[in-house]
Amino acid sequence: MNPLSKRIRFRLILISLVIFFIITPIIVSNSFGYKIGFFEKAEQFFTLVKNGGVYIQTDIPNVSIYVDDEYIKDNGRFTRNMLVQDLEPDTKHKITVTKKGFNPWVKTLFVEPSLVVESKVLMLPKEIEKKVIYPFVDDLGNGTTTSPVVTTSAVKKILPIDSTNVEYRELLLLFDLVKDDDGIQEKSRDTTQTKSVSDSVSATTSVAITKKIPTYFTEIGVEDPDSLENLIILNNQVAWLEDGDIVTYWVAQDKTPFSYYCLSSEKCRTKIKIDWDNKILNFNFLPGRNDVFVVLVQDGVYAVEIDDRSQRNIQKIYSGKDLDFRVRGNYIYLKEGYLFYEIDF
């Protein structure tokens, strides 16, 4: 084999150097989170742009994440939260998280250069397990709607207020049900669901004191917090019902708001509104979450994200008519007729 001529060797070396000086900066820049951005204007044909990322929080294992409908990875059994890097900045990206048996979660988030945007997944099982709590217990300890008690009148109707199930009677108190001549009567939701600010400030004392209204109410224009319907205060957030909608305020001015209050790194709000086609009758925070409400409307109970940076994820908890619910600890208790349902979150 004849050796290559000097001219050919020179050309090969020159081509190798050109490739080296083109490819190496791209590889190095990508390793530091940069990418080459192209522009329409000739004088700005390309430039180095710092990539962004998305941090997805979830407590559900083995979920699949997609970015702009392209599969990225699963989070695995033990590593729950996921960081997706090297996303094109100054662009909205559609994030989808799925798992068999669960409702999918979809969010469109704006990614900024050099920053990571955060969001927390809301994925409820499509079939939520519920424990039925019956008003009576038979001789074998099984729940039943039939009273084993024989009354003085053979035709007298046995009402759940006469329950032999201790757990059921506790729920009657939780839902503020009282007995009158006709049996069970429910008090007005407006009075039972509104939490007094004086109770919130001094819930552990029974001594009458001068009511002290937190200053943040004055700052958001509320003169009488006790007049607010369904008032809830949790983790620097204040929320209540207003004309059938939920208004939520971030009230800790000296602290960084939760990510869903911020539309960008430079623009954060203090108020978010949740409106519904139908009037919202009752709401509370989903157990263990400060970014999701349990919402009661005419046709059922739903989990609703506060986050409105893009489409809200709304997932059904229970469908039915004439429902009500309460939240206690990690449980949601649903009331439908004379029956209660317990859901463990």
What mean pLDDT is predicted for residues 219-229? Answer: 93
- Hunting for tokens 């190095």 — which residue is that? 28
Residue 182 lies in a domain: no
Q: Cα–Cα distance between 23 and 25 in angstroms, integer?
A: 6
pLDDT average, residue stretch 317-324? 94
Domain that holds residue 102: 47-120
Distance between CA 242 and CA 273 in Å, rounded? Answer: 10
Report the mean per-residue pLDDT for the chain. Answer: 81
Place of tokens 């958001």: 220
How much of the chain exceeds pLDDT 70, in percent?
73
**Across 262-279, average pLDDT:** 91
Which pair of tokens denotes residue 302? 């739903």
Section 243-268 average pLDDT: 93
Q: What is the distance between the terminal CA atoms of the chain, rounded to a whole angstrom? A: 76
Pairwise CA distance, residues 160 & 36, whole Å: 70
Residue 87 within any structural domain of the chain: yes
Please write the tens of the pLDDT for every residue from 30-49: 554 455 444 443 444 444 45
Q: Give mean pLDDT, residues 212-231.
A: 92
More confident of the two residues 180 and 25: 25
Other C-beta atoms closer than 10 Å to the C-beta of 131 total 13
Task: Flag whether pLDDT at 303 surpasses 80.
Answer: yes
Confidence tier at 212 by pLDDT (50, 70, 90): confident
| CB atoms near residue 230 (< 10 Å) | 20
**C-alpha triplet 174, 297, 177: angle, nearest 5°:** 20
pLDDT at 11 over 80: no
Q: Look at residue 91 and tell me if it is in a domain.
A: yes
Please determine, for residue 249, whether its predicted confidence score (pLDDT) is greater than 80.
Answer: yes
- With a pLDDT cut of 90, the percent of the chain lying above it is 54
Q: Report the C-alpha gap between 21 and 24 in whole angstroms.
A: 6
Q: Is residue 266's pLDDT more than 60?
A: yes
Answer with the one of 73, 104, 120 that is the final residue of a domain: 120
Q: Is the pLDDT of residue 241 over 80?
A: yes
CA distance 76 to 271: 36
Q: 273 in a domain, yes or no? A: yes
Domain assignment present for 240: no
Please report the pLDDT score of residue 158 as a whole number: 47
Residue 313 lies in a domain: yes
Chain segment 130-154, per-residue pLDDT in tens:
999 998 887 777 777 776 654 444 4
List for the chain the helix, strand, coil content (%; round to 5). 20, 40, 45
Q: Please tell me the predicted confidence (pLDDT) of residue 187.
A: 53
Q: How many domains does the chain have?
A: 2
Domain finish residue from 94, 120, 146: 120
Residue range 81-109: mean pLDDT, rounded: 94
pLDDT score at 181? 46
* Residue 328 vs residue 1, higher pLDDT: 328
Q: Does 274 map to a domain?
A: yes
Q: Which of 15-19, 37-41, 225-229, 327-331 has the lowest mean pLDDT?
A: 37-41
Mean per-residue pLDDT, 266-281: 92
Give the amino acid at 162. D
Answer left, alpha or beta for residue 216, where phi above 0 means left and psi between -120 and 50 means alpha.
alpha
Answer for the pair 111, 87: CB distance below 8 angstroms, yes or no: yes
Among 99, 120, 141, give the residue marking a domain's end. Answer: 120
CATH number of the domain to which 75 belongs: 2.60.40
Which tokens go with 323?
């429902």
Instruction: Identify whether 283 is part of a domain.
Output: yes
Locate 200 and state its tokens. Answer: 């919130």
The pTM is what? 0.77
